[in-house]
Amino acid sequence: MILIFEHDEKNKQFVAVLEGKEATLKYSILPDGKTLDYYSTFVPPKSRGQHIGQDIVKFALDFAKENDYKIIPSCSFVKAFIDKHSEYSKLVA
């Protein structure tokens, strides 16, 4: 299984394409322009259980880290990922 991750800046989401279906992590930009609210993670039902959600969250967190953003993990899946991977806790606003 090969996933291709993209940052869809126009639609404010990170996308992973798998077998023609999209997994997404949606975000909004806070007024300060330096904080991203990661508020929704979605993986198509038939693709769940394959770590795709974790992979897209990691991709999004690495994007924030590389671009000096802080994040708000409004999505419970993102928060749970950060709780398990403390190296990303420094990104939380």
Query: Domains in the chain: how many in total?
Result: 1
Q: What is the pLDDT of residue 27?
A: 98
Helix (H) or strand (E) holding 80: helix 76-84
Distance CA 42, CA 64 (A): 19
Distance CA 33, CA 52 (A): 28
Query: How do residues 39-78 score in pLDDT, each as one tens digit?
Result: 999 999 988 999 999 999 999 999 999 999 999 999 999 9
| CB 41 within 8 Å of CB 71 | no
CATH number at residue 45: 3.40.630.30
Sign of the dihedral defined by the CA atoms of residues 91, 74, 61, 65, in that order: negative
Which range marks the domain in which residue 64 is found? 4-91
Residue 1 has pLDDT above 70, yes or no: no
Global pTM reads: 0.94
Query: How do residues 3-34 score in pLDDT, each as one tens digit?
Result: 889 999 999 999 998 878 899 999 999 999 99
Chain Cα centroid distance, residue 4: 14
